[in-house]
Amino acid sequence: MIRSILSLLLRALVVVSGASIVTFILLWNAPGDPALAIAMARYHQVVSADVLDQVRNEVGLDAGFWSAFKAWIGPLLAGDFGKSTVTDREVWPELVTAMSYTFPLAMLALVCGMCVALPLAILATKHPGSVLDRAAIGMASLGAAIPPYWLGLLLILLFAVYLDWLPAMGALSTTHMVLPALTLGLGVTASLTRIIRSGILDAREQAFLPAFRRRCVLSRNIGRDHIAPHATIPVITVFGLELAFLLEGLVMVEVIFGRPGLGSFLVNAIEARDFPKVQAVVLLTALVFVVINLIIDVIYQVIDPRIGEHDA
């Protein structure tokens, strides 16, 4: 047990540090002149070569890869995310602010998605092939096929422009969260509905179930005690992957709806080559992934300890 926990933590460490280092290398070697991007972001105008040299010197771009790497990783190991190369302000407080916009939105999308997907999938599987089942599959396919950037624009057109029910841009109030959450939630609902439905249908085909019926166990109890746990395993697996798609969707949705969350934070940082900010987002995302996967591994251990017992 201790060995498997240690190996999980080791794996987590490798993922987080690997992601950060690879991003650093990629950013450093990205085409274009980072000094120019930074200067543009700072002064919003074309600048002279002298100013560029000054920026290069300030940010440490002229000192070479290794010294820049050391200048970044040294403070990071002490928990310091550094200062923005554009505004010279600490990255951490700004990151916290961005998170305070993004996490509630992500949670809302996930919770709404789950609340719709679970009953929908359970209803659909009551009578496989029925109209309701087909409608659920249709909705799931549609949800998977519509990209969030397109759906977001459609929702803005409908609810903000034509009907004028909801605000389109910004994050001033909770009503501002409705359209972005709907945009993200549809994709989440679609994939969760699909996976819960097939999870339940597969779990119902377990070879041991007829024996339980012949043992006179009530079908309600069979559903709760035997079908549900078996259906949970694929759902948990997909839930982890779902998070990846959710983060990807978040970046676009926040930019479309003009929300000051992690997505906008990241896009602005990349455009301005604000290395410390990009690095902070990457590190944070990697951490979130690792933590979610750790939780999933623990849930696996509870439901079915056989999963991963050979490679843990």
Partner 1 sequence: MTLSVSGLSTERSGRIILHPTSLSIEPSARIGLVGPSGSGKSTLGHALIDDLHRQGRIVAHVPQSPDEALDPLRTMRFHWHEAEAALGLPHDAPRQQQLFSALGIAHGDLRKRPWGWSRGMQQRFVIAMALIGSPELIVLDEPTSALDPVVAADSMDLLDRFLSGRQTAMILITHDLALAAQRVSQLMVMDNGCLVEQASTSALLNTPKTKAAKALSAHRNWMPHPC
Positions that interact with partner 1 (CB under 8 A) = 206-208, 210-212, 214-218, 221, 225-226, 229-230, 303-306
CB of 210 to partner 1, least distance (A): 8
Nearer to partner 1, 230 or 277 (CB): 230
CB of 310 to partner 1, least distance (A): 14
Nearer to partner 1, 97 or 237 (CB): 237
Nearer to partner 1, 100 or 221 (CB): 221
CB under 8 Å, gap of 24 or more: what pairs does 86-94 form? 86/38, 86/41, 86/42, 86/272, 86/274, 87/42, 91/276, 91/277, 91/280, 92/280, 94/265, 94/277
Nearer to partner 1, 33 or 309 (CB): 309
Q: Are 235 and 192 in contact (CB under 8 A)?
A: yes
CB of 101 to partner 1, least distance (A): 40
Cα–Cα distance, 273 to 34 (Å, whole number) = 6
CB of 308 to partner 1, least distance (A): 15
Nearer to partner 1, 44 or 214 (CB): 214
Cα–Cα distance, 308 to 237 (Å, whole number) = 13
CB of 207 to partner 1, least distance (A): 5
142-to-129, 147, 191, 232 alpha-carbon distances in Å: 18, 10, 10, 24
Q: Please name the amino acid found at residue 5.
A: I
Nearer to partner 1, 229 or 308 (CB): 229
Q: Are 127 and 290 in contact (CB under 8 A)?
A: no
Instruction: Single out the residue of 207, 14, 54, 188 nearest to residue 109, CA to CA.
Output: 188
CB of 302 to partner 1, least distance (A): 10
The pair of structure tokens assigned to 269 is: 């940082």
Nearer to partner 1, 79 or 305 (CB): 305
Q: Are 168 and 257 in contact (CB under 8 A)?
A: yes
Cα–Cα distance, 179 to 160 (Å, whole number) = 9
CB of 194 to partner 1, least distance (A): 23
Cα–Cα distance, 11 to 8 (Å, whole number) = 5
